[in-house]
Chain A
Amino acid sequence: MKNSTSRRLVLLAMLAIAMVVVPAVTSLPAGIAGVKDSGCNCHGTETDSSVTASITGLPETYNASETYAVIVSFSGGPSTDGNMNLGGFNLWASDGTFSTVDDSTQLWGPAEASHTESGNDQRSWTVDWTAPESGTNVNFILHVNSVNGNEGNGGSSGDMWNRADVTVLGFGDAPLPDVDPFKVLATLVVISGVMLSIVVLYIFYRKNPDSFDWENFSPWISEWLTSTDHKKIGTLYFVQGLFFLGVGGIMALMIRMQLAVPGNDFISQDYYNQFFTLHGTTMIFLAAMPLINGFANWMVPLQIGAPDLAFPRLNAMSFWLQPVAALLIFTGVFSGQGADTGWTGYAPYVVTETTHSGVSMWAAGQLMLVASSTLTGINFLTTMAVMRAPGMGWFQMPLFTWSILVANLMLFLSIPAFGVGLIQVYLDRTIGTAFYDVASGGDPLLWSHLFWYFGHPEVYVVIVPAFGVISEVIATSARRSIFGYKSMVYAMAGIGLVSFIVYGHHMFTSGMSPTLRFITMLTTMLVAVPTGIKIFNWLKTMHGGSLVYRTHTLWTLGFLVTFTLGGISGMFFPSMGMDVHLHETYFVVAHFHYVLVGGTVFGFFAAIYYWYPKMTGRMLDERLGVLHFLTAFISYNALFWPMHRLGVVGMIRRTHTYYITTDDFNALPEWAADWNMLISMSAFLFFASNLIMVYNMIKSLVRGDKAPADPWGGWSFEWMTASPPPTPSFDPHNLPELKDANEHVANEPGIFGQMFRRLMVSDDAAEEESH
Chain B
Amino acid sequence: MSGVTPLFDAIWDDYMFWSILVGAFSFGWLYHHTYYYRAKEGESPNIDNLEVGVFPKEYDNFKLEVTWTVLPFILIVWLTYISWAPLDAVWSQTGPDGYHGSVCEDGQSSNNFIDASGYVRSECYHEIGIEGQQWFWEFDCYGLSEELCATDYATVEGELKPHLILKSGETYLAEMTSIDVTHAVKNPDFGMMEDVVPGQTAYLWMPAVEDTSFLMLCAEYCGDNHAYMIAQITVE
| Given known A-B contacts A575-B83, A715-B52, A340 and B223 have beta carbons under 8 A apart | yes
Contact assessment for A542 and B1 in the assembled complex, using a CB-CB cutoff below 8 Å: no
Contact of B156 among A484, A522, A540, A659 (CB under 8 A): A659
Chain A: minimal CB distance from B149 (Å): 18
Chain A: minimal CB distance from B178 (Å): 9
Contact assessment for B52 and A487 in the assembled complex, using a CB-CB cutoff below 8 Å: no
Contact assessment for B54 and A740 in the assembled complex, using a CB-CB cutoff below 8 Å: yes
- Which chain B residue shows the least CB distance to A543? B33
- List residues of chain A with CB within 8 A of the CB of B72: 528-529, 532-533
- Which residues of chain B from 42 to 59 have any CB-CB distance to chain A below 8 Å in the complex? 43-59
Chain B: minimal CB distance from A384 (Å): 16
Contact assessment for A548 and B44 in the assembled complex, using a CB-CB cutoff below 8 Å: yes
Contact assessment for A581 and B3 in the assembled complex, using a CB-CB cutoff below 8 Å: yes
Chain A: minimal CB distance from B137 (Å): 15
Q: Which of these binds chain A: B104-112, B123-131, B179-187?
A: B179-187
- List residues of chain B with CB within 8 A of the CB of A719: 52
Contact of B202 among A511, A664, A741 (CB under 8 A): A511
- Is B236 part of the contact surface with A, judged by Cβ < 8 Å? no
- Is A480 part of the contact surface with B, judged by Cβ < 8 Å? yes
Contact assessment for B53 and A546 in the assembled complex, using a CB-CB cutoff below 8 Å: no
Contact assessment for B212 and A666 in the assembled complex, using a CB-CB cutoff below 8 Å: yes
Chain A: minimal CB distance from B41 (Å): 10
- Bound CA span A532–B25, Å: 12
- Bound CA span A346–B195, Å: 12
| Given known A-B contacts A578-B11, A580-B193, A514 and B91 have beta carbons under 8 A apart | yes
- State how many residues of chain A have any CB contact under 8 Å with chain B: 111
- Is A483 part of the contact surface with B, judged by Cβ < 8 Å? yes
- State how many residues of chain B have any CB contact under 8 Å with chain A: 99
Contact assessment for B197 and A511 in the assembled complex, using a CB-CB cutoff below 8 Å: yes
- Is B39 part of the contact surface with A, judged by Cβ < 8 Å? yes
- List residues of chain A with CB within 8 A of the CB of B50: 475-476, 479-481, 713-715
| Interface class of chain B by DSSP | mixed
Contact assessment for A510 and B195 in the assembled complex, using a CB-CB cutoff below 8 Å: yes
Contact assessment for A564 and B27 in the assembled complex, using a CB-CB cutoff below 8 Å: yes
Contact assessment for A482 and B186 in the assembled complex, using a CB-CB cutoff below 8 Å: no
CB within 8 Å: A-B pair count: 320
| Given known A-B contacts A529-B69, A548-B44, A667-B214, A354 and B30 have beta carbons under 8 A apart | no
Chain B: minimal CB distance from A299 (Å): 15
| Given known A-B contacts A349-B221, A479-B48, A568-B23, A746 and B64 have beta carbons under 8 A apart | no
- Is B153 part of the contact surface with A, judged by Cβ < 8 Å? no
- Bound CA span A517–B193, Å: 15
Contact assessment for A539 and B191 in the assembled complex, using a CB-CB cutoff below 8 Å: no
Greatest chain A CB density within 10 A among B22, B29, B52, B82 is at B52
- Is B80 part of the contact surface with A, judged by Cβ < 8 Å? yes
- Which residues of chain A from 649 to 674 have any CB-CB distance to chain B below 8 Å in the complex? 649-650, 652-659, 664-667, 669
Contact assessment for B227 and A657 in the assembled complex, using a CB-CB cutoff below 8 Å: yes
Q: Mark A77-91, 1 if CB is under 8 A from B, else 0.
A: 000000000000000
- Which chain B residue shows the least CB distance to A354? B223
- List residues of chain A with CB within 8 A of the CB of B34: 542, 547, 557
Contact assessment for A583 and B193 in the assembled complex, using a CB-CB cutoff below 8 Å: yes
Contact of A584 among B1, B84, B186, B197 (CB under 8 A): B186
- List residues of chain B with CB within 8 A of the CB of A549: 38-39
| Given known A-B contacts A269-B227, A528-B72, A581-B3, A738 and B54 have beta carbons under 8 A apart | yes
Q: Mark A485-502, 1 if CB is under 8 A from B, else 0.
A: 111000000000000000
- Is A509 part of the contact surface with B, judged by Cβ < 8 Å? yes
Give the 8 A-B CB pairs with smallest separation, nearest first.
A577-B86, A655-B227, A575-B83, A481-B56, A656-B227, A650-B188, A349-B181, A741-B57
Interface residues of B (CB under 8 A from A): 1-4, 7-8, 11-12, 15, 19, 22-23, 26-27, 29-30, 33-34, 37-40, 43-61, 64-65, 68-69, 72-73, 75-77, 79-80, 82-84, 86-87, 89-91, 134, 154, 156-157, 180-182, 184, 186, 188-189, 191-195, 197-200, 202, 212-215, 217, 219-228, 230, 232, 234
Given contact pairs A654-B221, A715-B54, a sample of 18 additional A-B residue pairs in the complex whose CB atoms are under 8 Å apart: A270-B224, A346-B181, A354-B134, A479-B50, A480-B48, A480-B59, A511-B197, A518-B87, A575-B15, A575-B82, A581-B8, A649-B3, A650-B186, A657-B228, A659-B230, A666-B2, A719-B52, A740-B55
Interface residues of A (CB under 8 A from B): 263, 269-270, 273, 340-342, 346-349, 352, 354-355, 392, 396, 438, 443-445, 475-476, 478-487, 509-511, 514, 517-518, 521-522, 525-526, 528-529, 532-533, 535-537, 539-549, 557, 560-561, 564-565, 568-569, 571-572, 574-578, 580-581, 583-585, 648-650, 652-659, 664-667, 669, 710, 713-717, 719-720, 736-742, 746
